[in-house]
């Protein structure tokens, strides 16, 4: 465990149990150099304790990178609550987690993530103020989608020579909270949508409301398109899938899209422009961090605008240095987090 913490540069790891509610929680704080560590709380079933700890550790670093590149005064963290087949009271479970967070005295701020909701954050908020994305603060997904949409514009501009999305074919994998909101914005901008989701109801809705073309889930990655937007799972880009891609660029909201950094080099060799996930999907974090700090909507919108500018700058560096944008952004984040100035 310590070796994994060391290789992921995780600052501290906190394990909590509450026998009364059945809570088993892991909080991995990656870095608090730039401020208190903010990161979502997952509530998922894990095959064993080790995989839950690994998930928290592996995801925490991306949050630090995301915050650093977004210019936010927060660090990065991730929490995981292990989902049991049966729980007596979901609200009691999240209240217990709120008490755990309070013990960290503001070093960790939690937020919504896979498997958690604004209602869960409300339960946590009864015991600590170190929580965002409550019902009052709002779900960050629409802001994530806004950032991805503007990032797709700059990606189109850098790779295809124009940010006009009219007639552009965008393949979206996953029509969840972010994917569907993104599809709506792309449709309004005149893009042609090719979509898939394991939930047929979401695909039907996109067909009816946005004129989207349905694609079988197993065929989406190899479907000819201009831009592929992974908006479902992590690690969709691996040696095998990248070899099958028939797109000019990959730009979507999913976290941890690359199975490894070497896959980014493979994309580069294939001439496929890759929008680093933690840069293009930072809109939600920007919204949560700034809302928590009491910023006004105008300030938040200003920050969101920087996403496309940041991507354009990363693409320009990558092109000049003939290497993947993923390597350029990792290097930038590393400098911000570790260089002494």
Which residues of this protein are in contact with ligand NAD, per CB under 6 A? Answer: 114, 140-141, 144, 173-179, 196-199, 202, 217, 231-234, 253-255, 281, 284
Min CB(197)–ligand NAD separation in Å: 4
Q: Which residues pair with 39 in a beta bridge?
A: 110
State both tokens at 116.
């958690």
What DSSP designation does 219 have? G
Between 10 and 236, CB nearer to ligand NAD: 236
Min CB(299)–ligand NAD separation in Å: 19
Min CB(164)–ligand NAD separation in Å: 26
The phi-psi region of residue 232 (left if phi > 0; otherwise alpha if psi is between -120 and 50; otherwise beta) is alpha
294 in a labelled binding site: no
242 in a labelled binding site: no
Phi/psi at 328 (nearest 5 deg)? -60, -45
Between 21 and 177, CB nearer to ligand NAD: 177
Instruction: Identify whether the C-beta of residue 235 lies closer than 8 Å to the C-beta of residue 259.
Output: yes
As a whole number of angstroms, the distance between CA 138 and CA 129 comes to 15
252 in a labelled binding site: no
Min CB(277)–ligand NAD separation in Å: 8
**Farthest CA pair distance, the chain:** 59
Between 95 and 277, CB nearer to ligand NAD: 277
202 is catalytic: no
176 in a labelled binding site: yes
Closest residue to ligand NAD, based on beta-carbon distance: 176
Q: How many angstroms separate the Cα of 40 from the Cα of each of 29, 166, 296?
A: 11, 35, 22
Q: Which residues pair with 196 in a beta bridge?
A: 173
66 in a labelled binding site: no
Between 103 and 297, CB nearer to ligand NAD: 297
Of residues 213, 215, 173, 165, the one with CA closest to residue 191: 165
Min CB(59)–ligand NAD separation in Å: 9
Name the strand (E) or helix (H) holding 278: helix 277-280
Between 27 and 279, CB nearer to ligand NAD: 279
Three-class DSSP category at 228: strand
Catalytic residue among 24, 66, 78, 202: 78
285 in a labelled binding site: no
Instruction: Identify whether the C-beta of residue 124 lies closer than 8 Å to the C-beta of residue 98.
Output: yes
Name the strand (E) or helix (H) holding 94: helix 90-103
Three-class DSSP category at 176: coil
Known binding-site residue numbers for NAD(+): 174-179
Q: Which residues are catalytic?
A: 78
């Amino acid at each position: 465990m310590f070796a994994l913490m060391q290789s992921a540069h995780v600052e501290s790891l906190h394990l909590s149990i509450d026998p009364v509610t059945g809570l088993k929680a892991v909080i991995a704080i990656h870095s608090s150099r730039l401020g208190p560590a903010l990161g979502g709380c997952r509530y998922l079933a894990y095959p064993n304790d080790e995989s839950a700890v690994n998930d928290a550790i592996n995801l925490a670093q991306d949050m630090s990178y995301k915050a650093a590149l977004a210019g936010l005064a927060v660090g990065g963290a991730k929490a995981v609550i292990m989902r049991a087949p049966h729980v007596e009271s979901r609200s009691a479970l999240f209240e217990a987690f709120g008490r755990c967070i309070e013990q960290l005295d503001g070093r960790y701020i939690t937020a919504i993530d896979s498997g958690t909701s604004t209602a869960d954050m409300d339960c946590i908020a009864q015991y600590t103020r170190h929580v965002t994305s409550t019902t009052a603060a709002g779900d960050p997904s629409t802001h994530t989608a806004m950032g991805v949409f503007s990032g797709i514009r700059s990606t189109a501009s850098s790779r295809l020579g124009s940010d006009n999305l009219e007639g552009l074919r965008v393949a979206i994998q996953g029509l969840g909270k972010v994917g569907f909101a993104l599809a709506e914005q792309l449709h309004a901008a005149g893009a042609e949508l090719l979509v898939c989701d394991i939930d047929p109801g979401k695909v039907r809705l996109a067909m009816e409301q946005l004129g989207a073309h349905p694609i079988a889930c197993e065929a989406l990655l190899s479907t000819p398109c201009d831009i592929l937007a992974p908006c479902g799972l992590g690690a969709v880009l691996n040696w095998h899938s990248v070899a099958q891609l028939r797109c000019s660029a990959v730009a979507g909201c999913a976290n941890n899209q690359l199975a490894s950094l070497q896959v980014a080099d493979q994309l580069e060799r294939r001439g496929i422009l890759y929008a680093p996930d933690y840069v293009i999907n930072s809109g939600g974090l920007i919204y949560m961090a700034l809302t928590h700090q009491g910023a006004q909507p105008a300030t938040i919108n200003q920050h969101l605008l920087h996403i496309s500018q940041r991507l354009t700058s990363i693409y320009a560096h990558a092109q000049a240095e003939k290497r993947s944008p993923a390597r350029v952004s990792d290097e930038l984040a590393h400098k911000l987090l570790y260089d002494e100035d």
